[in-house]
Amino acid sequence: MTKKKTSIEKLNGVADIRRFFYKNETPIYFISATNFNLLGADEWIKGFKFICHIECFDGLHPNVFSPKEEIPHDEFESIEDINNYLLQHPEVQDYLKTRTKGGNAGKVMFLMFDEETEKLAKKQGLEVMFPSAKMRTFMDNKVNTNRLAEKAGVPCVPYVLSKVKSYTHLQTVSKELGSDLVIQTPFGDSGHTTFFISNETEFKKYEEEIVKEKEVKIMKRINCKGSAIEACVTKHGTIVAPLMTELVGFKELTPYKGGWCGNEIYPNAFSPSLRRKAKKYTELFGDQLREEGYKGYFELDFLIDQDNGEIYLGELNPRVTGASSITNHAVFALADAPLFIFHILEWMNVEYKLNVKALNARWARQENVDGWSQLIIKHTQDTVEFVSEAPKSGIWKMFDNGHIQFDRMDTHRRAVESEQEAFFLRITKEGNYLYEGADLGILVSRGRMMTDDFELTDRAKNWINAIKGKYSSQIVEDKREQPNLIGSLTK
């Protein structure tokens, strides 16, 4: 009797890959504080569900699961803590069991996770679709990022890596960089640990945080503008999305001077030369990541020197990020497949062929890029306030007088029809507390929110003021002294 051969499916190109995910039978999850970073993934992948701690849509999103009862837990100090709490929650565990197919609990993605998260996911039978937490932590270290860039041949702003013992010591180790410096500690969140120092008084302000580190990154301060680019390391090469502008440090949006607070993507945002360099450097960096054993989604921040036109690597985020929603909903991605599809594909145990060079060429064409902006709106005062009223998630409309009105419920930004509308994803809701740096929500609209001089447009300011005006809150503390208050939940 002849043994029957088992055929292994091999996907040939983007059309096959799309069809594969439309027919998917493996339970796939994104577990995080909110579903912001992978908005819309459920429309591309059959069986994709979000498990979130914060219910942004008041129970109206068909593919978001959020436990109803809060169980006892230590105070959250990070997104990792939130994910670990969710994986231990009986409601979440029951939900996972009801969706298990043929003994397969499925696969999971996180925005942030640690080694404890990995253990908890494994206990539930879930496969984490990212390189290990240990590897991600190593690469997320800003000092290590520069060393990776050196190996990859990607230029960085002139810098030194060193322990800093005092201001005098700083002057000694950084003498070739001049007196106007930027210091970054190895880990930090959107501007919390980026320090601008040009004299001893400024150094003293941050001295405790700097000197405690074994090594910091010390850079020459340049007159630069931020940009971001997302990519995915695959077995067939590094897929590179278009370069985006970054909104950084706007006092209307964030209390942090170097803090990320949004992005724009639009045709011809950068010169052809800058776009080519960014694409080349991202491919080189992705190839180096693959050499190091990494695969999947990553994002690079590039700094564009306004004085000499050069582009330098700023930092690496080895994960999906706050910019992912912009990347994955633009026309270039919808015409093929969003970047997260190629990331997940690497963990789907299926053979596939893909012409990465042709895909990157299509995505680089400016006629395939449409215009979008997103603003990350934070509480900017150094106060703690109890929220008694908050705006709903969905589509809002602005009138000529600057007033806004909730128009209709929708689950992501593609429903925005004009620049007079915006999609708002609420994060802080009624009954929550506001504190310095807390995310109120994310506002996404068609068109631009910055001028060519990297200033907020009047339209952006009107939207920020209008959304903040929809919050009612009462001050309960003048100073932020509670250790349980988390920073950004979006990046």
Residue 114 to residues 82, 86, 119, Cα–Cα distance (Å)? 11, 14, 9
User: CA 8, CA 202: separation in Å to the nearest integer?
Assistant: 62
Residue 2's pLDDT is 45
Choose among 266, 222, 491, 442: nearest CA to 370: 266
**CB-CB contact of 407 with 421 (8 Å):** yes
Helix (H) or strand (E) holding 308: none
The SS3 assignment for 326 reads helix
Question: Exposure string (b/e) for 196-218, b if CB count within 10 Å is 16 or more?
Answer: ebeeeeebeebbeebbebeebbb
User: CA 82, CA 68: separation in Å to the nearest integer?
Assistant: 15
Q: In the 8-state DSSP scheme, what is residue 287? A: H
448 — alpha (psi -120 to 50), left (phi > 0) or beta? beta
Residue 380 to residues 298, 323, 375, 376, Cα–Cα distance (Å)? 29, 21, 14, 12
Q: State whether the Cα torsion 228-48-341-295 is positive or negative.
A: positive
Does the pTM surpass 0.85? The reply is yes
Q: In the 8-state DSSP scheme, what is residue 52? A: E
The DSSP annotation for 134-178 comes to HHHHHHHSHHHHHHHHHHHT--BSSEEEE---SHHHHHHHTGGG-
Q: What are phi and psi of 123, to 5 degrees?
A: -60, -30
User: CA 444, CA 33: separation in Å to the nearest integer?
Assistant: 19
Choose among 323, 133, 343, 330: nearest CA to 230: 323
Residue 1's pLDDT is 45
Residue 147's pLDDT is 95
Residue 414's pLDDT is 84
Question: Exposure string (b/e) for 364-395, b if CB count within 10 Å is 16 or more?
Answer: beeebbebbbbbbbbbbeebbbebeebbbbbb
The SS3 assignment for 234 reads strand
User: CA 150, CA 209: separation in Å to the nearest integer?
Assistant: 26
User: CA 487, CA 277: separation in Å to the nearest integer?
Assistant: 33
Q: Which residues in the chain land under pLDDT 50?
A: 1-7, 480-483
Label the pairing between strands 311-317 and 421-426.
unpaired
Q: What are phi and psi of 154, to 5 degrees?
A: -105, 125
Query: Around Cβ 51, how many Cβ atoms within 10 Å?
Result: 22
Residue-wise pLDDT for 336-387, tens only, equals: 999 999 999 999 999 999 999 999 999 999 999 999 999 999 999 999 999 9
- Letter for the amino acid at 268? N
Residue 189's pLDDT is 61
Q: What are phi and psi of 312, to 5 degrees?
A: -125, 150
Exposed/middle/buried for residue 432 (C-beta within 10 Å: 0-12, 13-18, 19+): middle
